[in-house]
């Protein structure tokens, strides 16, 4: 669903605001879920939140009441450690009861530390082993073409995940097979498990690398809702090659002391940090985290 060009400035602003508010609600749940569990990955979840919000509440075709609808668009979270953001998005979209969000990482819960397609409604692929999600997404996209279906496939990878060789094998294959029903988001927040991506294994220049592999490339601010929508709309018009959207993001976005802090890659907030984070997020969010 593209932005309707017939909308007035006021109507467009209201649409964008609703998506921004929804993203803030998701951020609150990320904080609440990881705090309750005492573990998880808040930093990369918060950087991915705006993109997930646009995909599930604006751009993708799907039916929560029929999660296996054959013509649905597919989303693969290759950076599976950002599962809290995906779970909060799926619950708000109606794929399962919101109460389940209180049971992240519990034994027997449908919401494990990384996505499980056998257990969680709306999860298309079990991910978490870095570098594998793009290959899965390509398979889904090629399957759609073979079945003559018109769904699209979206994959999110982390910039740190681009260290993995399988990512580039998959990128080469997608261009070779002209998988133009595939769009990849690179959540380029500049940090990975134990430091800046530039120091651990530089992936720059990201755009040039993907372009040299035969992809259509778009660079955006990954926290600007309008930018995200326009990039997705553009990707749908590209024929003969896959599209990668390089989203410049901030790890821990929305919580001041988590922004750009590598320690919150895999560290849950303690009680004091939880209270501070919720104060900051509730100050700008009209929804209630119930």
Instruction: Give per-residue pLDDT as tens, 85-144.
Output: 999 999 999 999 999 999 999 999 999 999 999 999 999 999 989 999 999 999 999 999
Residue 270: CATH number of its domain:
3.40.50.970
CB atoms within 10 A of CB 207: 16
- Minimal CA–CA distance to 29: which of 289, 273, 281? 289
Q: What is the length of the chain? A: 290
Q: What percent of the chain has pLDDT over 90?
A: 90
Instruction: Give per-residue pLDDT as tens, 30-44.
Output: 999 999 999 999 999
In-domain check, residue 171: yes
- Minimal CA–CA distance to 255: which of 6, 12, 35? 35
d(CA 247, CA 185): 7
Listed in sequence order, the residues at least 6 apart from 190 whose beta carbon sits closer than 8 Å to its beta carbon are 159, 196, 197, 198, 251
In-domain check, residue 1: no
Residue 285 clears pLDDT 60, i.e. is over it: no
Listed in sequence order, the residues at least 6 apart from 86 whose beta carbon sits closer than 8 Å to its beta carbon are 52, 77, 115, 123
Instruction: Give 287's pLDDT tier (boundaries 50, 70, 90).
Output: very low
In-domain check, residue 290: no
Q: Residue 5's pLDDT is what? A: 57
Instruction: Give 8's pLDDT tier (boundaries 50, 70, 90).
Output: confident
Report yes or no: 36 and 29 within 8 Å, Cβ to Cβ. Answer: no
In-domain check, residue 287: no
In-domain check, residue 4: no
Listed in sequence order, the residues at least 6 apart from 243 whose beta carbon sits closer than 8 Å to its beta carbon are 180, 182, 183, 184, 215, 216, 217, 218, 234, 235
In-domain check, residue 288: no
pTM recorded for the entire structure: 0.94
The number of domains in the chain is 1
DSSP secondary structure string for all residues of 140-191: HHHHHHHTT----EEEEEETGGGGSHHHHHHHHHHHHTT-TTEEEEEEE-SE
Burial 66-92 (b: 16+ CB within 10 A, else e): ebeeeebbbbbbbbbbbbbbbbbbbbb
The domain in which residue 57 lies consists of 9-282
In-domain check, residue 233: yes
In-domain check, residue 155: yes
């Amino acid at each position: 669903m593209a932005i309707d060009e017939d909308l007035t400035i006021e109507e467009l602003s209201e649409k964008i605001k609703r998506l921004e508010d929804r993203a803030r609600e998701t951020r609150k749940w990320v904080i609440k879920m990881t705090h309750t569990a005492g573990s998880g990955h808040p930093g990369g979840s918060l950087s991915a939140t705006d993109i997930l919000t646009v995909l599930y509440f604006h751009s993708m075709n799907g039916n929560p009441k029929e999660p296996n609808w054959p013509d649905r668009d597919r989303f693969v979270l290759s950076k599976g450690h950002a599962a809290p953001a995906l779970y909060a998005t799926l619950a708000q979209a109606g794929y399962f009861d919101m109460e389940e969000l209180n049971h992240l990482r519990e034994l027997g819960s449908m919401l494990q530390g990384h996505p499980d397609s056998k257990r969680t409604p709306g999860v298309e692929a079990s991910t978490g082993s870095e570098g594998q999600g793009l290959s899965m997404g390509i398979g889904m996209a090629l399957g759609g073409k073979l079945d003559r279906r018109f769904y699209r496939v979206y994959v999110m990878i982390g910039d740190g995940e681009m260290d993995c060789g399988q990512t580039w094998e998959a990128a080469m294959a997608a261009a070779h097979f002209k998988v133009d029903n595939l769009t990849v988001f690179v959540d380029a927040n500049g940090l990975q498990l134990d430091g800046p991506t530039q120091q651990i294994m530089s992936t720059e220049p990201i755009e040039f690398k993907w372009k040299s592999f035969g992809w259509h490339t778009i660079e955006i601010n990954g926290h600007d809702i309008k930018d995200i929508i326009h990039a997705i709309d553009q990707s749908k018009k590209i024929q003969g090659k896959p599209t990668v959207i390089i989203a410049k993001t901030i790890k821990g976005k929305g919580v001041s002391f988590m922004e750009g802090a590598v320690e919150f890659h895999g560290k849950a907030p303690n009680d004091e940090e939880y209270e501070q984070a919720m104060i900051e997020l509730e100050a700008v969010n009209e929804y209630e985290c119930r």
